[in-house]
């Protein structure tokens, strides 16, 4: 028990002193996760809108695929993208492997089905009179889609929260695509795994506290937006 208290004390000292390495790791996690969830939302919004509001053949199959991909293991995403981004892969010349952008790509793929599923569910559950009413008023399809997404904005916020929580706590794809390089691609989760294996529990605990604070802060902020 004394060991845990000592590690916690040392972790709080690192945070209070704004240890440079801790701050760099926290910033890398925040930047990659935020960028990924924004990209995933931009891609998922039109997909969720079409699947949720437009009846077409294969619609149920797409929803089934989205549900299945929500549980896709992160190491599978990492393996697939590693093959694409490696020197022998088709995207190798871009030189993205072991960079923050490779991690953003992996986290975007990870968050996309989650965000799309939530938006699809929100759109499908919206008031059925919205679209016919707008069509009667002569609204164009683009405006109808924008207005429908505006009506389900709370569902979109829930999608963002769920997607962010998934990517910020992800380890496998970040490790495989980023390489856990110090001061470059080392995130909170990969650093926690590394420091724990090294026996530096104080450093790992400091990172864990920041990770929990970050996740709670984002959820609190989005919850406050929903309340307003």
The pLDDT of residue 198 is: 86
Judged against a pLDDT cut of 70, whether residue 94 lies above it is answered with: yes
Which pLDDT tens digit goes with each residue over 46-74?
Answer: 999 988 888 888 888 888 888 888 888 89
The pLDDT of residue 158 is: 85
Per DSSP, the chain holds a count of helices (H) and strands (E) of: 11, 0
Judged against a pLDDT cut of 90, whether residue 165 lies above it is answered with: no
Residue 118 contacts residue 70 (beta carbons within 8 Å): no
The pLDDT of residue 58 is: 82
Judged against a pLDDT cut of 90, whether residue 43 lies above it is answered with: yes
Provide CB contacts within 8 A for 151, sequence distance 6+.
Answer: 126, 127, 130
Run of H or E residues at 27: helix 20-53
Which pLDDT tens digit goes with each residue over 20-34?
Answer: 898 999 999 999 999
In this prediction, what percent of the chain has a pLDDT beyond 90? 35
Provide CB contacts within 8 A for 45, sequence distance 6+.
Answer: 119, 149, 156
Helix, strand, coil shares of the chain, percent, nearest 5, are 80, 0, 20
**Domains of the chain listed by start with CATH number:** 2-227 (1.10.3720.10)
Closest CA to 81 of 185, 173, 167: 173
Rounded to an integer, the average pLDDT of 185-201 is 89
Average pLDDT over the chain reads 87
Judged against a pLDDT cut of 70, whether residue 138 lies above it is answered with: yes
The pLDDT of residue 18 is: 83
The model carries a pTM of: 0.90
Rounded to an integer, the average pLDDT of 139-168 is 86
């Amino acid at each position: 028990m004394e060991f845990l208290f000592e590690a916690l004390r040392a972790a709080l000292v690192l945070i209070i002193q704004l240890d440079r390495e801790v701050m760099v790791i926290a910033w890398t996690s925040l930047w990659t996760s935020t960028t990924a969830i924004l990209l995933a939302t931009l891609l998922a919004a039109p997909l969720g809108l079409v699947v949720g509001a437009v009846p077409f053949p294969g619609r149920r199959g797409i929803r089934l695929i989205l549900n299945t991909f929500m549980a896709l293991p992160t190491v599978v995403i990492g393996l697939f993208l590693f093959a694409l981004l490696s020197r022998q892969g088709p995207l190798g010349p871009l030189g993205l492997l072991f960079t923050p952008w490779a991690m953003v790509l992996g986290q975007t793929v990870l968050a996309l089905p989650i965000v799309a599923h939530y938006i699809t569910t929100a759109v499908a559950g919206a008031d059925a009179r919205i679209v016919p009413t707008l069509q009667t008023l002569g609204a164009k399809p683009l405006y109808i889609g924008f207005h429908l997404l505006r009506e389900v904005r709370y569902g979109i916020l829930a999608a963002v929260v769920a997607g962010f929580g998934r990517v910020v706590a992800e380890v496998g794809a970040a490790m495989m695509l980023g390489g856990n390089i110090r001061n470059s691609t080392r995130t909170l989760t990969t650093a926690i795994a590394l420091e724990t294996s090294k026996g530096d529990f104080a450093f790992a605990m400091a990172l864990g506290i920041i990770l929990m604070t970050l996740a709670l802060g984002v959820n609190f902020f989005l919850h406050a937006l929903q309340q307003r």
